[in-house]
Amino acid sequence: MPMTGRPTVLFVCPDNAGTSLMAEAIALHGHRGLRPFSAAALVPGAVDPALIDCLQAAQVPADGLSAKPAGVFGLSGAPRLDVVVALGAGAWRALRRQPFIGLLRFEFWQLPEVARDESPAARRAAYRTLLPDLDGAIGRLEERIALRMARAAA
């Protein structure tokens, strides 16, 4: 089924504590052509305060970010997902077991699992380094989706 309107993208990391939330916040802030969400491939963790610090320093709004399991997107009434992006190998391995995998377009982006580092200072530095790379990757995703939609409409 072709995508129409703003495509819905689900960014997934193992615990939805850092990287996938960062992707959701970046997409909400600077990629208006997407309707982004984030989730945990495994058990949701607590939102990483180092991530919130990094987003605030970059003037990317962090309001309303919350960790949730990917399974909620398979429930009745959940948004229809156009693309799911697994952020890291742990997320990809866990997502392959989700019942909705055969229904979606998937992408795998090899990214570090920043939230696992024990030092808050190290996590803040890692998020700062990751932010521009993730923003660029989301921009390229947005362009690929726009191209697919244009081809489907032609």
Residue 2 has pLDDT above 90, yes or no: no
- Structure confidence by residue, pLDDT tens digits, 49-104: 999 999 999 999 999 899 999 888 888 898 888 899 999 888 888 887 776 666 66
* Predicted local distance difference test score (pLDDT) of residue 69: 92
d(CA 14, CA 88): 8
Residue 113 has pLDDT above 80, yes or no: no
56, two tokens? 């605030």
- Mean pLDDT, to the nearest integer, of 135-143? 96
Half-sphere exposure of 66 (CA within 13 A, CB side): 3
Mean pLDDT for the chain?
A: 89
Residue 1 has pLDDT above 50, yes or no: no
* Predicted local distance difference test score (pLDDT) of residue 103: 62
Sign (positive or negative) of CA dihedral 18, 22, 74, 101 = negative
Residues 6+ apart with CB under 8 A from 53: 124
Global pTM? 0.91
DSSP strands (E only) in the chain:
8-13, 35-40, 83-87, 105-109
The terminus-to-terminus CA distance of the chain in angstroms comes to 15
